[in-house]
Amino acid sequence: MLSLVIPVYNEGDNLEVVFERVKSVIQKLNVGYEVIFVNDGSRDASMGAIRRIAEHDRNVRFIDLSRNFGHQIAVCAGLDFAKGDKVVIMDADGQDPPEIIEKLYLKSLEGFEVVYAKRRSRQGDGFLKKLTAKWFYRILGRLTHIDIPLDTGDFRIIDKKVVEVLRRMPERQKFLRGQISWIGFRQASVEFEREARLAGKTGYSLKKMLRLAIDGITSFSNFPLRLATISGFLFSIVGFFLILYTLYARLFTDDYVAGWASQMITIVFIGGIQLLGIGIIGEYISRISDNVRNRPLYVINDTNIN
């Protein structure tokens, strides 16, 4: 059986269209299927649309979360309930064209546990989004030891084996494309043209994007922490010589009142470096404390899965 996990945040105007397209593609594949819509606290008519779709098609499941938990967590909720031998993760806004599912599925049959869809082009996304995404993935690639494929989102098909490992990864800061690379197995890609979203506007605010980026880096790299250590080291060495010089000037020369400017500069500069270091450590500590709290990852309001 094939499961499709589709996170939904304010996609009321897209759901019917996308679902029809999904259905006609899957029917060609000749496999049993289930579509799991995860409503991530939408404020529009999405949930009503999902219920209507579910009433007419018994292959449709839904999980209605109690509030907006964010895209990655919504996908995880869907994965937790997916029963398929293979699972497709895709967006609800038409940007991941359902027609590509066929390519993903056929490729996976060749014996790949992960087949991700790689964007050949990207329509409908702003210049800034493309540029920041491009740089982010290149920097991330440098900072981490795992290979996170460039120009891919979460649109992909993964084997049950991979889903089972994902369920056992307890971290709360989910960065699925990184986790899936980390898990390994045989991975392949198919290319596609990313379309513009059908209706509505992006649910990924700048804040959410930044959060995902920092989660991605902190989950897979300790380099920023090391950066704090390295700069701390460098500046303590400089500081040590500064102290020697200050003592020398104070004890053996007459002009020790001078140097106010350099003192101010030093204090401000070192202060800045310290704050930066503390800030970076804080980012990691806040994530540790998030994990130690051990709260449930999401809360379900209603579902038709039993």
Interface positions with ligand UDP (CB under 6 A): 7-9, 11, 40, 68, 70-71, 74, 91-93, 95, 197, 202-204
Q: How far is the CB of 152 from Mg ion (least distance, A)?
A: 14
Listed in order, strand segments (DSSP E) in 148-269 are 152-159, 187-194
Considering only 85-93, 164-172, 267-275, 281-289, which stretch makes contact with Mg ion by CB under 5 A? 85-93
72 is an interface residue for Mg ion by CB under 5 A: no
The rounded distance, in Å, linking the Cα atoms of 263 and 159 is 61
Q: How far is the CB of 81 from Mg ion (least distance, A)?
A: 23
In the complex with ligand UDP, the residue whose CB is nearer, 113 or 215, is 215
The rounded distance, in Å, linking the Cα atoms of 44 and 268 is 49
Q: How far is the CB of 68 from ligand UDP (least distance, A)?
A: 5
Buried/exposed 251-263: b ≥16 CB within 10 Å, e otherwise:
eeeeeeeeeeeee
In the complex with Mg ion, the residue whose CB is nearer, 18 or 65, is 18
In the complex with ligand UDP, the residue whose CB is nearer, 95 or 218, is 95
Asked if residue 113 lies in contact with residue 161, where contact means CB atoms within 8 angstroms, the answer is: yes
In the complex with ligand UDP, the residue whose CB is nearer, 68 or 266, is 68
The rounded distance, in Å, linking the Cα atoms of 212 and 202 is 15
In the complex with ligand UDP, the residue whose CB is nearer, 69 or 105, is 69
Sketch the per residue contact string, 193 through 222, with Mg ion: x for CB under 5 A, - otherwise: ----x-------------------------
Among 10, 39, 42, 95, binds Mg ion (CB under 5 A): 95
Q: How far is the CB of 157 from ligand UDP (least distance, A)?
A: 17
Give me the residues paired with residue 121 across strands. Answer: 193
In the complex with ligand UDP, the residue whose CB is nearer, 53 or 280, is 53
Instruction: Find the helix or strand (DSSP H, E) in which 114 lies.
Output: strand 114-122
Among 11, 34, 40, 93, binds Mg ion (CB under 5 A): 93
Asked if residue 28 lies in contact with residue 55, where contact means CB atoms within 8 angstroms, the answer is: no
Residue nearest to ligand UDP (CB): 203
- The residue behind tokens 């970076």 is 280
Listed in order, strand segments (DSSP E) in 164-256 are 187-194
Q: How far is the CB of 294 from ligand UDP (least distance, A)?
A: 23
The rounded distance, in Å, linking the Cα atoms of 80 and 264 is 56
Q: How many angstroms separate the Cα of 24 from the Cα of each of 29, 30, 100, 265, 286?
A: 9, 11, 12, 67, 45
Q: How far is the CB of 71 from ligand UDP (least distance, A)?
A: 4
The dihedrals phi and psi of 204, each to the nearest 5 degrees, come to -95, 90
In the complex with ligand UDP, the residue whose CB is nearer, 65 or 217, is 65
Name the binder of 71 from ligand UDP, Mg ion, none, CB < 5-8 A by kind: ligand UDP
Residues that bind Mg ion (CB under 5 A): 91, 93, 95, 197
